[in-house]
Amino acid sequence: MTEIIDIAIVGGGPAGLTAALYGARARANTVVFETQLPGGQIITTDWIENYPGMPEGLNGSRIGELMHAHAEKFGATFRTFAPIEEIRPDSGGFRLVSDDGEALARTVILATGSTPRKLGIAGEAEYTGRGVSWCATCDGALYRGKIVAVVGGGDAALEEAMFLTKFAERVHLIHRREEFRATKCIQERALSNEKIEVHYNRIPVEITGHEGKVSGIVLQATDGGPDEMLALSGVFEFVGVHPNSDLMVGLADLADGGWVKVDSSMMTSYMGLYAAGDVTDTPLKQVVTAAGQGATAAFEALRYLDSGVCTL
């Protein structure tokens, strides 16, 4: 007989792992489908210092491990699958389809998060993995004693720039505007770091290379100044994210930019189908909001199951 899952969660980042904890703790058959190690984007960052109750902060991968263990302790099941390719309404519930197989669920919580944006400039694709990176935690140690650039102006850009100063001799921080949008206390620390050199009003237009590796970046001035070329070995890009919402196309409503529209119960426009975390159209993309939305989505999915509306 085919197993019927009560709550299928697609994505094992902070939103999916928290939803799994709440679903499993309520004794619902809760299954997380994830393609990688649990933790989502936080496994790409060294330190999270703004999760409540952890004033000293904690390593991102460690938070992922703890969230995973917490959900598993209460009975959530984890399936490391090929990516879920389709979510299809079926028999009053949903069929999840991947190259590894299919599963049937009464409710689904989409927690597929987001993917870093690319600059889309010359040299970026050619030197990806050969000096161009989106993960300072993964690649920072390769740049001991070298010069690197960080592109971006938000919290992630400034935090990762500070992290990179542990290894690099100099970090060029390149921002297209005159002011950063990062949280003020993060700005204060980054700007007082002697290894960080800020380049305001500069847009990267090309990543150059030599013998198959990054050798520099060309910056265009937005304030009328001349273009400049910085010689360096690595370029780290933190210029925002886009939602992993392809599974919702044609199934649930999407907002501009492809973010999944949700109501206050985290339900999408399709009954029984919820979304939580970075993939949604809610403004704050952080661990604490992803966790809160995951909890709400699981709580509401449980109420939906209890209501008897689902016929599967």
Choosing from 30, 107, 112, 133, the residue that interacts with ligand FAD (CB under 6 A) is: 112
- Is residue 126 a contact partner of residue 212, using CB atoms and an 8 Å limit? no
User: Rounded to the nearest 5°, which phi and psi values hold at 193?
Assistant: -85, 120
Q: What is the spatial distance between Cα 104 and Cα 31, in angstroms, rounded to a whole number?
A: 11
CB of 261 to ligand FAD, least distance (A): 15
Q: What is the spatial distance between Cα 200 and Cα 222, in angstroms, rounded to a whole number?
A: 9
Choosing from 4, 25, 50, 281, the residue that interacts with ligand FAD (CB under 6 A) is: 50
Choosing from 7, 8, 24, 44, the residue that interacts with ligand FAD (CB under 6 A) is: 44
For this structure, is 139 an active site residue? yes
How wide is the angle at C-alpha 28 spanned by C-alphas 33 and 267, nearest 5°?
Answer: 70
For this structure, is 310 an active site residue? no
Q: What is the spatial distance between Cα 31 and Cα 11, in angstroms, rounded to a whole number?
A: 10
The owner of tokens 């993309």 is 285
Residue 111 within binding range of ligand FAD, rule CB under 6 A? yes
Residue 33 within binding range of ligand FAD, rule CB under 6 A? yes
CB of 113 to ligand FAD, least distance (A): 2
- Is residue 104 a contact partner of residue 312, using CB atoms and an 8 Å limit? yes
Tell me the sheet residues that pair with 122. Answer: 206
Residue 287 within binding range of ligand FAD, rule CB under 6 A? yes
Q: Taking contact as CB under 6 A, which single stretch among the options 146-154, 262-270, 285-293, 296-304 is the one that binds ligand FAD?
A: 285-293
How wide is the angle at C-alpha 65 spanned by C-alphas 23 and 164, nearest 5°?
Answer: 135
Residue 286 within binding range of ligand FAD, rule CB under 6 A? yes
CB of 57 to ligand FAD, least distance (A): 8
Residue 36 within binding range of ligand FAD, rule CB under 6 A? yes
Q: Is 311 left (phi over 0), alpha (psi -120 to 50) or beta?
A: alpha
Choosing from 23, 93, 113, 216, the residue that interacts with ligand FAD (CB under 6 A) is: 113
Please name the amino acid found at residue 218.
V
Q: How many residues bind ligand FAD (CB under 6 A)?
A: 35
* Interaction site with ligand FAD (CB under 6 A): 10-16, 33-36, 40-42, 44-45, 48, 50, 83-84, 111-114, 156, 159-160, 244, 277-278, 285-288, 290
